[in-house]
Structure formats: structure tokens, C-alpha cells
């Protein structure tokens, strides 16, 4: 008989599982920690799974077999995600966010842990089936959403840099052409950053012409990595034809009119591809 009450055991199990999305825990981990029988922990897991699902807060998935266990899948309800994106659109439509040159100030949202957690969770939900090994991004503003996507998927991030620094050892560099400005830029990645033959997803904060994403795809070829998909927080509607084929976006930027002071945004294709 466990020395802990059911409600106490559940407090500890929820904390550990939801802190480590997509990480598999053997039931014995909780059995030892809480001095409980397997059947007790299994019942606790069922209770947690039911309640989280009912509240739209994700699932606890059980994998059978000797190597099996349970993991937390941060899959909230589509409706909850949609409401979050609608609110984000309203916030981003504020004309005070217009920056000369047709840009939108988004850093405050990307840099807020609460908002960025939800962005990462939604982007992760687009790719949950593919089981990537890494989430790849390029410095700087894409790092927080990429990191929170990686956290939701339970994998590390890999950060491409615009200069190859001496502090990370040998690196691979490529040149790429910025899709919007047509400038040639360089992107580097430390050779230690990822194992060869990995599966990756690419996450960035913003996509216009798709040149940066195309650059990352080319850099991934040097690591023999398979790109499972691309996800961005905001994509511009124009140019419609981008340098990459498919990508998920949470929000599409239709138009910034600096003369009339208006911003038009639409919900992206995050739940459609």
C-alpha cells in the first residue's frame, strides 16, 4: 500500500510528465518514487489522462511492452489553439507594431515565456507524427519559438549562425540568397551540432521569400539530414511562390499599409497541411 494518497501521487506524476513532454518514463520510475504497485500507478495515469484530455491540456500516452512506459503529449484541443491564434492576430494587428520597411514588431510575444510556450506547442503539434531528432533554426529571433517547439517534442535544438565562431570547433558553411532582399548571406553550423542521417524540422519566426529556409535545407544536406517539414510563426502572403514548397504558418501577414496605418493578418495553414 502506497504511503501517499492518490491526490498526492498525481501531483508528483503530473509535475514530472508535463515538465518533460514526449519523454518516455517507465512505470517503475513512479513505482519506486512513490512506493506504489504497478496497478496503482496505472490507475493514476488513467485518471491524469482523462482529466488532461477533458480540459484540453494534452494526453498521457501509454506504450505497451517491455521497453514501454508513459509520456506526456502536449496536444491541446484545436479549438483552444485556434482561439490562441485569433488573439495573437488581434494583438499583432496593432498599428503601433508597424516598423518602417513593411515589418511588424513581434519580439515581445516571441520573448514572453507564456506566449512562446503555446506557439511552440502548436508548431510541435504540426509535426508530432514525424518523430524528428532535432529542431533546426537560425539565429536570432527564431530561437525562442524553436526552443519551445523542441521542448514540446522532447528533442534538442540546433542553431545555425551567420558567422562561424571559433568557440564551437569545425563548422560547415553555405551561402544562400535572401529571398526578399536578394543579398548573399552565409550560414554556418558546427559539425558537432548534430548526428549524420538525422530527421529534422525547421522552425523560424518569420518567412517572406523563403530564402533562409531554403538555406537551412541546403545546409542540412551537408549533414545528410532529412527535413520533415518547416514551421513559422508569421509568413507573408506575398510573394505567394516562395523558395520552399510546403510550410506551416500560424499567422499570414496579408498586408502592411504604412500610409493608411493598417495591418491585415489571417490565420495561417497550421491545421491544414
Q: Which residues bind to a copy of itself, rule: CB under 8 A?
A: 4-8, 10-12, 14-16, 18-20, 23, 33, 44, 47-48, 50-52, 55, 57, 99-101, 103, 105, 107-108, 111-114, 116-117, 139-141, 143-144, 147, 150-151, 154-159, 161, 166-169, 190, 192-193, 206
Residue spans of alpha helices (H) in the chain: 6-19, 27-33, 38-54, 78-92, 107-110, 113-127, 143-153, 211-221
Q: Residue 234 or 250: which CB sits closer to a copy of itself? A: 234
Q: Residue 141 or 237: which CB sits closer to a copy of itself? A: 141
Q: In the structure grid, which three cell numbers stand for residue 73, read together?
A: 503529449
Is the Cβ–Cβ distance between 138 and 112 less than 8 Å?
no
Report the nearest approach of a copy of itself to the CB of residue 197 (Å).
17
Task: Tell me how crowded residue 178 is: count the other CB atoms within 10 A of its CB.
Answer: 17
Q: Give the distance, in angstroms, between the CA of residue 97 and the centroid of all CA atoms in the same chain.
A: 24
Report the nearest approach of a copy of itself to the CB of residue 217 (Å).
20
Torsion angle in degrees (nearest 10) through CA of 245, 257, 91, 158: 30
- Name residue, grid cell 551537408: 222
Report the nearest approach of a copy of itself to the CB of residue 272 (Å).
27
DSSP 8-state symbol, 25: B
Q: In the structure grid, which three cell numbers stand for residue 199, read together?
A: 530527421
Report the nearest approach of a copy of itself to the CB of residue 240 (Å).
21
Report the nearest approach of a copy of itself to the CB of residue 124 (Å).
11
Amino acid at each position: 500500500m502506497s504511503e501517499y494518497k492518490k491526490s498526492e501521487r498525481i501531483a508528483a506524476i503530473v509535475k514530472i510528465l508535463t515538465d518533460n513532454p514526449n519523454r518516455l518514463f517507465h512505470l517503475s520510475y513512479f513505482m519506486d518514487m512513490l512506493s506504489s504497485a504497478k496497478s496503482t500507478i496505472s490507475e493514476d495515469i488513467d485518471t491524469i489522462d482523462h482529466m488532461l484530455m477533458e480540459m484540453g491540456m494534452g494526453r498521457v500516452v501509454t506504450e505497451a511492452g517491455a521497453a514501454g512506459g508513459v509520456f506526456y503529449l502536449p496536444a491541446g484541443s484545436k479549438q483552444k489553439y485556434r482561439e490562441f491564434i485569433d488573439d495573437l492576430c488581434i494583438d499583432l494587428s496593432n498599428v503601433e507594431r508597424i516598423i518602417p520597411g513593411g515589418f511588424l514588431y513581434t519580439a515581445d510575444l516571441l520573448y514572453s515565456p507564456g506566449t512562446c510556450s503555446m506557439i511552440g506547442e502548436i508548431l510541435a503539434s504540426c509535426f508530432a507524427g514525424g518523430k524528428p531528432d532535432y529542431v533546426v533554426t537560425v539565429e536570432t529571433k527564431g530561437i525562442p519559438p524553436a526552443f519551445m517547439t523542441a521542448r514540446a517534442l522532447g528533442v534538442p535544438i540546433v542553431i545555425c549562425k551567420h558567422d562561424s565562431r571559433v568557440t564551437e570547433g569545425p563548422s560547415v558553411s553555405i551561402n544562400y540568397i535572401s529571398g526578399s532582399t536578394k543579398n548573399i548571406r552565409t550560414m554556418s553550423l558546427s559539425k558537432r551540432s548534430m548526428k549524420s542521417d538525422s530527421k529534422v524540422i525547421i522552425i523560424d519566426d518569420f518567412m517572406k521569400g523563403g530564402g533562409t529556409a531554403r538555406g537551412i535545407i541546403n545546409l542540412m544536406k551537408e549533414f545528410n539530414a532529412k527535413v520533415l517539414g518547416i514551421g513559422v510563426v508569421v509568413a507573408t502572403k506575398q510573394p505567394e511562390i516562395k523558395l520552399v514548397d510546403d510550410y506551416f504558418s500560424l499567422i499570414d501577414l496579408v498586408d502592411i499599409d504604412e500610409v493608411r496605418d493598417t495591418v491585415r493578418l489571417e490565420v495561417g495553414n497550421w491545421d491544414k497541411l
